[in-house]
Amino acid sequence: MGLQMVLADIPTVFVIDDDAGIRASIEGLLKSAGLRSECFERAEEFLQRKPLDTASCLILDVSLPGINGLDFQQQLRNAGLHIPIIFVTGYGDIPMSVKAMKSGAVEFLTKPLKRQALLDAIQQALARDSVRRREQADIDLLQKRYDMLTRRQHQVMGLVVSGLLNKQIASELGTTLITVKLHRAEVMRKMQAGSLAELVRMAEKLRLFRST
């Protein structure tokens, strides 16, 4: 159990490259940098592995047997798998790199890979994933609190964060002022909001405001 907890805290770099020599070289570099790695020959193999609950990134070769790297990047995005990608290629061109970066790639490196450039890109990718995971954890916690609200409290919260006063909310919902005040107090307590401004920020994170 203790070992599993320690391993869960170690960032993991996934490597997908059909060149065994490249995989071994990157794996050695990552080990020397104190990073855990897992290597795959094909993109399809990576999809068979369960996602880790720790910061991670993907070093992805552009040219792969089966689905190529750029198509795989799009496939991951469509599946909602948000892992930072560092592309590597032996024959990259400008249109290819532009396409990769526009789709969210952290870096686009050409082979032979420069040790420091790759390590810098990995650190940037892992930092980006750590931030995303913290933000998602915050949203998940807020969603749990929001789910604890009753249907009426959902309505009250929506009207409160839209800027309506208590008496306006009472009129909107066809209820009494004291009832609105009680519901509002419960919303603040369950959401653990210390102020109206904080409740509004929570609503923004939960995307409760309709886009216009």
Which residues are CB-neighbours of 71 under 8 A, at least 6 positions away?
Answer: none
If you count DSSP H runs as helices and E runs as strands, how many of each does the chain have, helices first? 10, 5
The β-bridge relationship of strands 85-89 and 36-40 is: unpaired
- Asked if residue 66 lies in contact with residue 43, where contact means CB atoms within 8 angstroms, the answer is yes
HSE-up of 176 (CA within 13 Å, CB side)? Answer: 3
**Structure confidence at residue 51 (pLDDT):** 74
- Nearest CA to 75 out of 40, 42, 47, 53 is that of 47
- Global pTM value: 0.79
**Structure confidence at residue 8 (pLDDT):** 55
pLDDT means per 10 residues, the chain with 212 residues, are 52 94 94 92 88 88 89 91 92 79 89 93 95 94 97 97 96 96 97 97 89 46
**Structure confidence at residue 212 (pLDDT):** 41
DSSP string, 157-189: HHHHHTT--HHHHHHHHT--HHHHHHHHHHHHH
